[in-house]
Amino acid sequence: MVGFSSEKRHPIQVVARRTGLTADVLRAWEKRYGILKPARSDAGRRLYSDEDVEYLRLLRRATTAGRSVGQLVALSREDLEVVVREDDAAAATVPVPSTPATEDDAVLQRAVYAIAGLDTRALEIILRRAMIEREPAYFLDRLVVPLLVGIGNEWRAGRMTPAHEHVATTVIRAVIGEFTATFVPRSDAPSLLSATPQRQLHEFGAMLAAATAAAAGWRITHLGADLPANAIADAARQTRATVVALSIVHPNDDPELPGELRALRDALPSDVVLLAGGAGTAGYGHALREARAVVVADLAALRATLISLAGEPAVPA
């Protein structure tokens, strides 16, 4: 490519700054999709060329426009440039209705405004951009969680219709799934299973637990919502899970849930750690203690717990 050197000389931290992609995303794309083949320094650290940097910039622009990385890697660089030019020409900006206090507020506000306008395309672009440009903790803790809380508040206040709620949750669910699939665990990674107990129908907490674990290097299996204790225990044994993460949101006064928690604890191997989180856990404190469950207050606490259980991995170059 004219104007760009093919010499491999840029470390991953420089490439991350120049492309707007996080180092986590760069490593994940390389491992999952075979994107680029960086050289290695004498110390074993990844080195990229100017051409690599420009190609990654193009990929970032195409993916934040809503395209799948898996589709883009099959394109030649010339075809990728055409796609990016077409997307740039067709792009529509998403207005912000007021001046936000911080950039974090601006991103969240644009997402809310896209939902209000039933603009699935805009919402997907906003979430995808944050997913590849920000660290996993920012994307999950400071964008997705506040967005889901805001949707719930608007729903209860009667300011959000079923159409708005469905648009938002459909897009958020798809992007969280893509985020989770980005991370490829090591062959010796510990295993986590996520689910919600029987009659707990709100799945997003379990999805976010799975996404957090995937970003932390765990092998994850997400079962979904409303699972009886025996089904969760059977799946945990089959996947050799060392951690079972439950999301408990609503209802917070189900008289049958304590029995489900006891049955799950009895059915799980004694060395499997049972984690529980969500707004509904406060209503089941005694039952959770009986089940020897570790209650985590938020995703940051979950992340810290997983690190302590697995041992903090070395950050690859």
Q: Per DSSP, which regions of 168-271 are E strands?
A: 191-197, 219-227, 243-247
Distance spanning both ends of the chain, measured CA to CA: 26
Mean pLDDT of 303-308: 93
70-84, 165-179, 245-259, 264-278: segment of lowest average pLDDT: 70-84
User: pLDDT class for 105, splitting at 50, 70, 90?
Assistant: confident
Q: Return residue ranges of the chain for CATH 1.10.1240.10.
A: 103-181
Q: In CATH terms, is domain 10-90 a member of 1.10.1660.10?
A: yes
Q: Return residue ranges of the chain for CATH 1.10.1660.10.
A: 10-90
Which homologous superfamily is 186-310 in? Cobalamin-binding domain (3.40.50.280)
Topology of domain 103-181, per CATH?
1.10.1240
Is the pLDDT at 6 greater than 80? The verdict is no
Q: Are 143 and 107 within 8 A, CB to CB?
A: yes
Q: b/e per residue, 242-256, with b = 16+ CB within 10 A?
A: bbbbbbbbeeeebee
User: pLDDT class for 42, splitting at 50, 70, 90?
Assistant: confident
Given its phi and psi angles, is residue 44 left (phi above 0), alpha (psi -120 to 50 degrees) or beta? left
Q: How many CB atoms lie within 10 A of CB 156?
A: 9
Structure tokens at 244: 């079972």
CA 187, CA 156: separation in Å to the nearest integer?
44
User: pLDDT class for 116, splitting at 50, 70, 90?
Assistant: confident
Is the pLDDT at 65 greater than 90? The verdict is no
CA 144, CA 146: separation in Å to the nearest integer?
6
Mean pLDDT of 86-114: 68
CA 75, CA 70: separation in Å to the nearest integer?
10
Query: Which of these, 157, 207, 143, lies nearest to 181 by C-alpha position?
Result: 207
Q: Return residue ranges of the chain for CATH 3.40.50.280.
A: 186-310
- Say what the pLDDT of residue 79 is: 84
Q: Are 273 and 242 within 8 A, CB to CB?
A: yes
**Mean residue pLDDT across the chain:** 87
Cα dist. 256→92, 104, 266, 287, 298 in Å? 50, 40, 16, 11, 25
pTM of the shown model = 0.76
Q: pLDDT tens across 48-63, in order? A: 998 989 899 888 888 8
Structure tokens at 276: 């529980």
Is the pLDDT at 288 greater than 50? The verdict is yes
Share of the chain above pLDDT 70, in %: 92
- Say what the pLDDT of residue 314 is: 41
Query: Which of these, 302, 176, 173, 188, lies nearest to 243 by C-alpha position?
Result: 302
Q: Are 114 and 122 within 8 A, CB to CB?
A: yes
Is the pLDDT at 291 greater than 90? The verdict is yes
Q: Are 33 and 73 within 8 A, CB to CB?
A: yes
Report how many helices (DSSP H) and strands (DSSP E) the chain contains, helices first: 15, 8
- Say what the pLDDT of residue 89 is: 67
23-27, 140-144, 232-236: segment of lowest average pLDDT: 23-27
Q: pLDDT tens across 180-197, in order? A: 988 989 889 999 999 999
